[in-house]
């Protein structure tokens, strides 16, 4: 294994190409990102999604996902290099998601990447998937000033994470049960709307409805930065059961989708703004799959503007799982590592981004 190029530590000007690899869930993704003086340029970002395959089961089936990753990874890898007009020889660093995620799926990406690193004698760094989501915000033009507050909302996680500098993550709060995206998926299932639920629920919420309903805002005033979405989902279940006595499911869907989405967003935004005040935050960053939600994006922007925080939203193509974000997170992580040790890259289903 070669050491990470020494020029990185000494020179102010850095130019390197990073290969990112992501297989933590149901997307096989490979990207090539060029970094020039800390500024990234995405040369390629190929994502092969298995969403349709898993939709028939109402969620991701881990072993099926792994089998698809094995089938797709070399094809996606070839496509990413080709699109970036690059050869493997041009790559300075390999960055791979090591967790959190589904263990059989993670093992495909880590085994592939470690083998690649070994055979090509390239340095390799293991990346936390959630750090990847956070770094999706660094592809924008605007300079991001620390301290940063991250609202991370994905299918598996909901967290408020303070960042005083690159790679320094402090957990302020997280969900005590379901993640926000998971709640969207479960509510979609109750409404018989299919999988993944997020995009369908938000589309349904935009439709007109004659029915007015109220749902709770769990832990809105809990005095901490934790969240809970499981009770909200149960409240939806009972509400739909009641409404079904009077209305058809077609009539119920828009009303429930709208109020559920609003309830989830109210709690996410209120806690984010409170934490931003308490920790004297300069920049508020949204990330994770749920960051694709239009109303959440709009509300966060408006509230940040009102309260004097800079707001950053990732481009839609970088909200869901991709490997460009992994490459960039890997770049910043590699700066802190004396000597990337490829043996330390291990798939870990429960890898934590931060502790309190």
Q: Which residues bind Zn ion (CB under 5 A)?
A: 154, 321
Of 198 and 340, nearer to ligand KG4 (C-beta) is: 198
Q: Counting contacts by CB under 6 A, is residue 290 touching ligand KG4? A: yes
Name the residue among 55, 51, 48, 44 with its Cα closest to residue 23: 48
Q: Counting contacts by CB under 6 A, is residue 28 touching ligand KG4? A: no
Q: Are residues 210 and 79 in contact, defined by beta-carbon separation less than 8 angstroms? A: no
Of 172 and 183, nearer to ligand KG4 (C-beta) is: 183
Q: Counting contacts by CB under 6 A, is residue 196 touching ligand KG4? A: yes
- DSSP letter for each residue of 86-155: --GGG--EEEEEEESS-HHHHHHHHHHHHHHHHHHT--EEEEEHHHHHHHGGGGSSSPPPSSEEEEEE-S
Which of residues 50, 128, 175, 320 is near ligand KG4 by CB under 6 A?
320
Tell me whether strands 158-165 and 93-99 are parallel, antiparallel or unpaired. Answer: unpaired
Least Cβ distance, residue 289 to Zn ion (angstroms): 6
Q: Counting contacts by CB under 6 A, is residue 260 touching ligand KG4? A: no
Q: Counting contacts by CB under 6 A, is residue 109 touching ligand KG4? A: no
Hey, what are 285's tokens? 């960053």
C-alpha separations of 167 from 11, 14, 74, 337 in Å: 20, 18, 30, 11
Task: Examine residue 196 and say whether the peptide bond preceding it is cis (omega within 30 degrees of 0).
Answer: yes
Which of residues 40, 104, 109, 156 is near ligand KG4 by CB under 6 A?
156
Which of residues 32, 293, 347, 351 is near ligand KG4 by CB under 6 A?
293
Least Cβ distance, residue 287 to Zn ion (angstroms): 9
Q: Counting contacts by CB under 6 A, is residue 321 touching ligand KG4? A: yes
Q: Are residues 323 and 109 in contact, defined by beta-carbon separation less than 8 angstroms? A: no
Binding site for ligand KG4 (CB under 6 A): 25, 154-156, 181-182, 184-185, 196-199, 202, 288-290, 292-293, 320-321
């Amino acid at each position: 294994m070669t050491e990470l190029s020494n020029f990185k530590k000494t020179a102010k000007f850095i130019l390197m190409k990073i290969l990112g690899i992501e297989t933590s869930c149901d997307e096989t993704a490979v990207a090539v990102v060029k970094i020039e003086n800390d500024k990234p340029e995405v040369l390629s970002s190929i994502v092969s999604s298995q969403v349709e395959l898993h939709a028939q089961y109402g969620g991701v089936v881990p072993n099926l996902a792994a089998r698809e990753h094995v089938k797709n990874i070399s094809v996606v890898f070839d496509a990413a290099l080709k699109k970036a007009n690059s050869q493997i020889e041009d790559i300075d660093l390999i960055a791979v998601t090591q967790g959190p995620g589904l263990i059989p799926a993670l093992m495909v990406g880590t085994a592939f990447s470690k083998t690649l690193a070994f055979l090509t004698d390239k340095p390799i760094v293991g990346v936390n998937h959630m750090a990847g989501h956070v770094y999706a915000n660094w592809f924008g033009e605007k300079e991001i000033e620390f301290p940063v507050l991250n609202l991370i909302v994905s299918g598996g996680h909901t967290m408020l994470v303070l960042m005083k500098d690159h790679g320094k993550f402090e957990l302020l709060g997280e969900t005590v049960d379901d993640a926000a995206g998971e709640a969207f998926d479960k509510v979609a299932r109750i409404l018989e709307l299919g999988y993944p639920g997020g995009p369908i629920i938000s589309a349904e919420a935009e439709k007109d409805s004659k029915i007015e309903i109220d749902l709770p805002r769990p832990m809105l005033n809990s005095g901490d930065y934790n969240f809970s979405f499981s009770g909200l989902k149960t409240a939806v279940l009972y509400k739909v059961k009641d409404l079904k006595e009077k209305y058809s499911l077609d009539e119920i869907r828009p009303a429930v989708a709208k109020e559920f989405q609003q309830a989830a967003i109210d709690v996410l935004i209120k806690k984010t703004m409170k934490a931003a005040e308490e920790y004297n935050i300069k920049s508020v960053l949204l990330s994770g799959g749920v960051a694709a939600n239009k109303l959440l994006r709009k509300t966060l922007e408006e509230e940040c503007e009102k309260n004097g925080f800079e707001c950053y939203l990732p481009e839609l193509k970088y909200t869901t799982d991709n490997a460009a974000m992994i490459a960039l997170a890997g770049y910043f992580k590699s700066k802190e590592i004396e000597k990337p040790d490829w043996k330390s890259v291990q798939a870990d289903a429960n890898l934590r981004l931060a502790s309190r």
